[in-house]
């Protein structure tokens, strides 16, 4: 399957840690990347592959991968981290596929 | 400053075509694939296809294979995506995004255009 499945929503208390997961068969072969999207804005990459952070992304964002699951962890979540988060990888043809998205609410 | 700037919003009737442009600046245009991704209102992202600006080679998702045409003009560092046979469910924000090989073998989308809203309505 070329689908990437995410939990629709998670919440985290301010300053606590939250993990966002992404599941799909393609993750056995390809790493996932992660994008943050706030309302009315274009996606912003927060993690490339297993654990490469783009320039300017704080180190509270980290990643991991095991089997068919990729994870994004936000350690010490801040109010500005409240957003939708999408994973992305490749499908069986080697081209792009996106996850269903997770809304992260910071309480 | 590396950026992708897209053309403005469009309103089209069913059956028409739309052509969205994506102007690249601040980097070597032919050095990075440009991908096209769309997002319907309140929905997730859908990968549509990609173009190699160096030689114009394209790949598209099976779903759009017969309706999408991707081109580029290297003289003005601009990529284009044309979608034909528009239907109401093509109403979406269309993004271009630059592919970045972060470890030499795998890529992610490091720069995104601001998005172009395409509305299909009779």
Nearest to B109 by CA among A12, A65, A93, A98: A98
Q: What is the DSSP string of chain B?
A: --EEEE---EEE-TT--EEEEEEEESS-GGGS-EEEEEE-TT--EEEEEEE-TTT--EEE-GGGTTTEEEEEEGGGTEEEEEE-S--GGG-EEEEEEEEEESSSS-EEEEEE---EEEEE--
Out of B59, B109, B113, name the one closest to residue A45 (CB): B109
* Residues of chain A in Cβ contact (below 8 Å) with chain B: 30-31, 33, 35, 42-45, 48-49, 52, 54, 86, 88, 95-101
Q: Is A45–B108 a contact, with Cβ atoms under 8 angstroms apart?
A: yes
Between chain A and chain B, the number of residue pairs with CB atoms below 8 A apart is 55
Paired strand residues for B104: none
Interchain CB distance below 8 Å, A97 and B47: yes
- Kind plus residue range of the DSSP H or E element containing A101: none
Shortest CA distance from A102: residue in chain B: B44
- If one counts every other C-beta atom within 10 angstroms of the C-beta of residue B62, the result is 10
Q: pLDDT confidence of A2, banded at 50, 70, 90?
A: low
Q: Are strands A69-74 and A18-23 parallel, antiparallel or unpaired?
A: antiparallel
Q: pLDDT (tens digit, 9 = 90+) per residue, B13-66?
A: 999 999 999 999 999 999 999 999 999 998 999 999 999 999 999 999 989 989
- Residue pair A79/A88 in contact (Cβ under 8 Å)? The answer is no
Query: Which helix (H) or strand (E) segment is A35 a member of?
Result: strand A33-37
Nearest to B112 among A43, A48, A98 (CB): A43
Chain B residues closer than 8 Å to A44 by CB? 112
Q: Please tell me which of the candidates A49, A97, A101 has its beta carbon nearest to residue B106.
A: A49
Residues of B in contact with A88 (CB under 8 A): 45, 108-109
Beta-strand pair B107-112/B92-101: antiparallel
CB A27 within 8 A of CB A49: no
Range B51-54 contact pairs with CB under 8 angstroms and sequence separation of 24 or more: B51/B79, B53/B24, B53/B29, B53/B79, B54/B30
Q: Tens of pLDDT along A68-105?
A: 999 999 999 999 999 999 999 988 777 889 999 999 99
pLDDT in tens, A28-54: 888 889 999 999 999 999 999 878 999
């Amino acid at each position: 399957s070329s689908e990437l499945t995410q939990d629709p929503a998670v919440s985290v208390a301010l300053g606590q840690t939250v993990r966002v997961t992404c599941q799909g068969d393609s993750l056995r072969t390809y790493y996932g990347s992660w994008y943050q999207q706030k309302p009315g804005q274009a996606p912003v990459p927060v993690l490339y592959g297993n654990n490469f952070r783009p320039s300017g992304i704080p180190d509270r964002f980290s990643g991991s991968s095991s089997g068919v699951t990729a994870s994004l962890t936000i350690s010490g979540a801040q109010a500005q981290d409240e957003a939708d988060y999408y994973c992305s990888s490749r499908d069986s043809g080697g081209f792009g596929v996106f996850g269903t998205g997770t809304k992260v609410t910071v309480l | 400053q590396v950026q992708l700037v897209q053309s403005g919003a469009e309103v089209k009737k069913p059956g028409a075509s739309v052509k969205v442009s994506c102007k690249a600046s601040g980097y070597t245009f032919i050095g990075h694939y440009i991908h096209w991704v769309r997002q319907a209102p309140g929905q997730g992202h859908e990968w549509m296809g990609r173009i190699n600006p160096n030689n114009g080679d394209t790949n598209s998702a099976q779903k759009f294979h017969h309706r999408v045409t991707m081109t580029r003009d290297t003289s003005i560092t601009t990529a284009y995506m044309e979608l034909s046979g528009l239907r109401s469910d093509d109403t979406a924000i269309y993004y271009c995004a630059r592919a970045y090989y972060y470890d030499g073998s795998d890529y992610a989308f490091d720069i995104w255009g601001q998005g172009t809203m395409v509305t299909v309505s009779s």
